[in-house]
Structure 1
Amino acid sequence: MKWPLSKKMETSLLTCVIHTSEQITMYCADHSQLCCSICFELNHRLCLQVTPLPQAARGKSTNFKNLSVRTENTLSQMKQCQTYQEDRMMSLKVSYKEHERLIVDGLRVNIVSYLRECETSTVNTTHEHMQYPISEMREGIKNLLADFEKSTIKEKKEELNLKQAPLKVLRNSCIRLHYELFHLHVAIPKVLGKPELSFIASKKCLENIQQSDIFIKENFSNHVFTVNGKSVHNVKIPSDSYTCQIKAVCALPNGQVLVADCYNDKVKLLNQQYQVVSHLDVRDEPWDMCLITPTEVAVAMDYEVQFITVSQSQLAKGRKLKLQYEGTGIAHNQGDLYICFGTALYKFTLSDKLVSWLYGDTSADLTVYKCAVSPTGDRLYIIGRYRQHKLLTLARDGTLLATFTDITLLRPLGLHVTPAGQVLVCGHLSNTVLQVGWKGESKLATLATQEDGVWWPASVCYSSTTSSIIVGQWGDDNILVFRVE
């Protein structure tokens, strides 16, 4: 990061993304696009606001701090999406290996059983007459088994490759987008004193972020999870005075998990095996929690937001954001904080500045209890408590887009949107964990019920690192971990 801008990076910045043999010389404000001479001739000759690059860059200033935060968040999302695809590929591979083994083992058992029957049935037959036929049969079956193993493995590998192929394409696209954006992220601080390069870098960075957002939305948000395993983990520690109430769960990119224990006023850090390795006492009941960076979370408490950092499996308190009202839910996206105050949703900056009021419902208490935001930031999701048996979907400006209700979603308390855009919500009274479509209009799957051990669920979170859905419960010392594909 401290090295000066390389000539190679400078050349890369100045090169047109579409026509790689041309340099950027103009900017079209009508389309918000950087242009080379070929771009201009083909697509922008009729545009009214095309200016030479030096003129376009003159006097323009970019909030590089906000751009840096947006870039880091997008990089994190792309990395999580890459990990998500790699996990799916590995899961397929393991599944096929196990399937191959079972088929071959089953055939082997049947053949051995058949041979034993043959030998038993010929026990009274003259030994010298049967010895050669049985030996010949055994040798022939061994050859047949070897050929079967080879052909089966070959067929299964071909089938596996076919199923993994689209996942590899998505994984490689994640890697490419991450690579391009990362190098722009590194270049930006090095060009702050160079107006034209700074202008180009910021525009390219924004374009790359938009491409990444579209890619995530189009390729990941419609995948329906399938549960293929469950485990139960106790998160109670000796210093707890009461039974745990896990109102929020937050998965870190390194596989660790944070849980907010409301009854005991604690935030607890779990390792990759879901064992408590550190905890932090907080002043008030922690209502909700969201990821800010890969090592920092924001915890919503009664009248403040407490920032907490994770370093070397230890928790440390950071700055605080004072609130005028009791915060019940919190979400973060690209430098914006969305905070629920029971009956209203507001947007803040990370630096404590109120941006806007987005949504409100004063018809009852806790109608705006928790919120979540899509990876691209264009959709907000809200759940209420008590008699509010529904999930609301809002546009970026707070406009109501959809209302989802279902008999399997009674008093939703847990809400989460994965890095890939899947929407998870759990019904406290219906004892369910559901996946809802990203448009917020329909149920895609019931992932877990009371039969799976779900009892009064209060929080839900997905870890792309471990391909698991983690459920925290009301008045229960255990969390549930469902492995999914």
Structure 2
Amino acid sequence: MYCGTHDMVYCLKCIATKHRSCSDVTNLTDAAGSSFRQNEIARLQKESKSMKELLADIEKAKQEHVVLLKEKRDQIQRRVQEIQVSMIEHIKTLSKQANVSLDETYAKGKDKLESDIAVVNRRRSEVEKINEQLQSKTQVNQEQQFVKVKLCQQITDDAKHLHAEFESGGQVSVEFEENSNVMEQFLEVKSLGKIEQFRVNRKREIQRQEEVNVKMQNDQHTCWIVDICKLGSGRFILADFNNIKVKLMDTDHKVTDHFSVQGQPTGICKISHNEVAVKLNTNNIELLSVGTRFSKLRSISIKEGGNYRGMIYTAGKFWVGKSAGVDVYDINGTFERSVAKFRPCQMIVCQNSVYLTDYNDGIVCFKSDGTKRTELRDSRLENTTGVCMSCDGTVYTIDELSKKIVIFSRNGKCLGELVPDVSNGTEPESLCYDDKNNCIIIGFTPSNTVTVLYLI
């Protein structure tokens, strides 16, 4: 029988039990005679052929994804191996330093003991000599006897003083005071990193857009959010150049606190779970702790770069943007080297790679040692300012002029645009990815709001 309600053929048992309430039920002869058309066979053949091709394309894509997944696994394995080698090399370096220090301390102690032994031997020889003189039966006059006694007494007194000095000084030894933090912190680490599976969608679109107010009551000027960084707690720090502040934004994108810094901020980055560094136009970097409120830890000075955008912290080093490149400093502000030959804007770091927008048509990626890894370029970009990266390694950059967000894979392949375009009349300056809400936060100049793009 044929059920017109469900447009499908069924056996008599199914018709009687499951399609009793359907009104359009006929036998096959009537159904084929009234509604069946030969052209439906051709249409179905065409449709099935098209579907066959689509399924073949999907199968091919899945096979390619198997290869890409294996490449990704191999890449992670190589990175784990690099971390292992790096850790072992660092432990070897620490061990070598400890042994060098031990050898130096041992040599000093040994030299002192050998010097003391030589002094004792001289004194002992002198004491033996006076004993022989005192036991001598050679006849001398009273004056000579007096001189000999006084000289012997002097040598004896010197020997007594030496003995007392050595006895009170104790034994020379060498001890090892272990840095317990090294072992404790090492044992607290439960993994080298988090292994997660992500579904990388080809479709990248904006689901909705929100404008979030970041202006505070005591702000005297229109905000200029030059940089944004995300803390380990999931909160965000906004660097407001115009109001000379850094602002704390919670996980629901509400500004809850601020801290007035000693100069206009030009860059900000995370240095630990709840600590950030703020680069100022005074050529100082302020280190802040972020709990329920801000507190200042200390300041360090740099020789150049305060007036220029961008800063990140990686492998114990600060990368600081300047007029024509990037300078690298240690945690105390000691200059080490220069990298890059262009003026950067925003910088981000992922594992051992640093991504810098270059006010041009893309992004330049460097290894942590300063060597260039790759470039991410596209003709739709003219003046890149902001950059961020999602959890799956997708890189987003925004163009200051066109306000387009162009997407790249981590290895540099352009994946197209994030559509639709960002609808905001001011110039975009900075990006930050919020993995909790799967959205991108955009800072502008001048603007009292940041834009939050929730992605599909």
TM-score using structure 2 length: 0.55
Distance in 2 (alpha carbons) for counterparts of 1:347 and 1:206: 28
Q: Deviations over 1:242-266 (max 9, x none)?
A: 2111111122233322111111111
**1:121-140 residue pairs with structure 2 within 5 A?**
137=21
Distance in 2 (alpha carbons) for counterparts of 1:199 and 1:274: 37
Shift of 1:343: 1.0
What is the aligned residue count?
Answer: 302
Distance in 2 (alpha carbons) for counterparts of 1:247 and 1:384: 15
Q: Deviations over 1:368-425 (max 9, x none)?
A: 33333222x1x3322233xx33322233433334333333322111123445543222
The 1:295–1:395 alpha-carbon spacing in structure 2 relative to 1, beyond 3 Å, is closer
| Aligned equivalent of 2:262, options 283, 302, 327 | 283
**Residue 359, structure 1, aligned to residue 337, structure 2:** no
Distance in 2 (alpha carbons) for counterparts of 1:480 and 1:262: 17
**Residue 311, structure 1, aligned to residue 291, structure 2:** yes
Shift of 1:206: 11
Q: Deviations over 1:221-247 (max 9, x none)?
A: 977683433222111112111211111
Distance in 2 (alpha carbons) for counterparts of 1:395 and 1:205: 28
Distance in 1 (alpha carbons) for counterparts of 2:407 and 2:209: 17
Contact 2:358–2:385 (CA<8 Å) still a contact in 1?
A: yes
**Residue 368, structure 1, aligned to residue 344, structure 2:** yes
Shift of 1:451: 5.0
Contact 2:302–2:333 (CA<8 Å) still a contact in 1?
A: no
One-letter identity of the residue aligned with 1:226: R
Contact 1:234–1:479 (CA<8 Å) still a contact in 2?
A: yes
**1:16-415 residue pairs with structure 2 within 5 A?**
137=21, 209=192, 212=193, 226-227=204-205, 228-302=207-281, 303-312=283-292, 314-327=293-306, 328-361=309-342, 367-375=343-351, 377=352, 379-385=353-359, 388-415=360-387
Contact 2:429–2:442 (CA<8 Å) still a contact in 1?
A: yes
The 1:274–1:225 alpha-carbon spacing in structure 2 relative to 1, beyond 3 Å, is farther
Q: Percent identity?
A: 20
Q: Deviations over 1:278-310 (max 9, x none)?
A: 111122221111111121111111211111221
Distance in 2 (alpha carbons) for counterparts of 1:198 and 1:334: 19
Distance in 2 (alpha carbons) for counterparts of 1:207 and 1:357: 35
One-letter identity of the residue aligned with 1:381: Y
**Secondary structure class of the residue paired with 1:272:** coil
**Residue 476, structure 1, aligned to residue 444, structure 2:** no
Q: Deviations over 1:4-32 (max 9, x none)?
A: xxxxxxxxxxxxxxxxxxxxxxxxxxxxx
**Residue 447, structure 1, aligned to residue 410, structure 2:** no
**Secondary structure class of the residue paired with 1:287:** strand
Distance in 2 (alpha carbons) for counterparts of 1:271 and 1:254: 9
The 1:222–1:332 alpha-carbon spacing in structure 2 relative to 1, beyond 3 Å, is farther
The 1:451–1:428 alpha-carbon spacing in structure 2 relative to 1, beyond 3 Å, is closer
Q: Deviations over 1:58-89 (max 9, x none)?
A: xxxxxxxxxxxxxxxxxxxxxxxxxxxxxxxx
| Aligned equivalent of 1:436, options 400, 408, 419 | 408
**Secondary structure class of the residue paired with 1:255:** coil
Q: CA RMSD in A?
A: 4.8
Distance in 2 (alpha carbons) for counterparts of 1:482 and 1:199: 42
**Secondary structure class of the residue paired with 2:332:** coil
One-letter identity of the residue aligned with 1:446: E
The 1:281–1:340 alpha-carbon spacing in structure 2 relative to 1, beyond 3 Å, is same
TM-score using structure 1 length: 0.52
Q: Which runs of 5+ in 1 are unaligned?
A: 1-110, 112-135, 139-165, 362-366
One-letter identity of the residue aligned with 2:336: V
